[in-house]
Amino acid sequence: SQQGEEDPQALSIQEGENATMNCSYKTSINNLQWYRQNSGRGLVHLILIRSNEREKHSGRLRVTLDTSKKSSSLLITASRAADTASYFCASSDRGSTLGRLYFGRGTQLTVWP
Amino acid sequence: NAGVTQTPKFQVLKTGQSMTLQCAQDMNHNSMYWYRQDPGMGLRLIYYSASEGTTDKGEVPNGYNVSRLNKREFSLRLESAAPSQTSVYFCASNRAGYNEQFFGPGTRLTVL
């Protein structure tokens, strides 16, 4: 399987704290993406980082990519209760022109008010 | 602009019954995908269609068939449902050359 792995599987924090989730993948990639899924809903794209980028920011989100270790991390700063959701990383294989993604198993984030 | 829509939202089947899950997108996307999501397993690709008229197997295609009816619609058929196909099914789409995928709300299927 080419699925990635997220770590931790579950994370519980207080509002205002930072949340860090990690992702490892198995192949050479074009890019790596992070998605969010609220309970009972579909996935929503958060951010994409290309293989030649090392860090990217979007609002309270910060993503890093280390291609030598085949890993990425997602940092959510100043977490809010509304950030409670599952977060998935998804990798796009280098050489693939079909847009196919390989998803990890996800991190369940709970932010307590 | 509805994005990606899926019908039905919920379905209960008996073992051996058949059904078709419908998916449509109004964003003029070329590629469409069917995933299943099981607890602790993340999303696994069942089938995908890079463009109208083409379909390819993903990681877990056994027991499923698909039809790319036109550019907008991509259906998933279970010919003879099995309890192992109890899952949440998501349809997604994206534009050619863009990796970001847009997801539908999902269909929760239970096979008894």
Q: Which two tokens stand for residue A83?
A: 């950030």
Mean pLDDT of A6-17: 94
Q: Give the model's pLDDT for residue B22.
A: 97
Q: Give the model's pLDDT for residue A60.
A: 97
Instruction: Report whether pLDDT(A99) > 60.
Output: yes
Mean pLDDT of B7-14: 97
CA distance B105 to B4: 8
Rounded to a whole number of angstroms, the distance between the first and last alpha carbons of chain B is 36
Question: Alpha carbon A31 to chain centroid distance?
Answer: 12
A30-34, B51-55, B94-98: least confidently modelled range: B94-98
Res. A34 pLDDT band, cuts 50 70 90: very high
Residue pLDDT, tens place only, B58-79: 999 999 999 998 999 999 999 9
Judging by beta carbons within 10 Å of its beta carbon (0-12, 13-18, 19+), is residue B17 exposed, middle or buried?
middle
Answer yes or no: are the C-beta atoms of B50 and B68 closer than 8 Å.
Answer: no
Res. B16 pLDDT band, cuts 50 70 90: very high
Q: Which of residues 44-83 of B touch A (CB under 8 A)?
A: 44-45, 48, 50, 56, 58-59
Q: Which two tokens stand for residue B46?
A: 């069942």
Instruction: Write the single-letter amino acid at A70.
Output: K
Mean pLDDT of A33-41: 94
Answer yes or no: are the C-beta atoms of B63 and B86 closer than 8 Å.
Answer: no
Answer yes or no: are the C-beta atoms of B70 and B52 closer than 8 Å.
Answer: yes
Q: Give the model's pLDDT for residue A61.
A: 98
Q: Collect all residues with Cβ–Cβ distance below 8 Å to A21 and sequence separation of at least 6.
A: A6, A7, A8, A11, A73, A74, A87, A89, A107, A109
Q: Which two tokens stand for residue B41?
A: 């397993």
- Give the sign of the dihedral formed by CA A32, CA A39, CA B80, CA B51: negative
Res. A3 pLDDT band, cuts 50 70 90: low
SS3 content of chain B, % helix, strand, coil (to 5): 5, 55, 45
Res. A23 pLDDT band, cuts 50 70 90: very high
Residue pLDDT, tens place only, B92-109: 999 877 779 999 999 999
| Chain A interface mutation, best of B7, B32, B37, B43, highest count of A Cβ atoms under 10 Å | B43
Q: CB of B43 within 8 Å of any CB in chain A?
A: yes
| Mean pLDDT across chain B | 94
Instruction: Report whether pLDDT(B40) > 80.
Output: no
Q: Which two tokens stand for residue A93?
A: 């294989």
Q: Give the model's pLDDT for residue A7.
A: 87
Question: Alpha carbon A93 to chain centroid distance?
Answer: 16
Q: A88 and B33: CB-CB below 8 Å?
A: no
Residues of A in contact with B45 (CB under 8 A): 100-102
Q: Give the model's pLDDT for residue A90.
A: 93
**How far lies B68's CA from each of A32, A39, B23, B30, B57, in Å?**
27, 29, 10, 11, 13
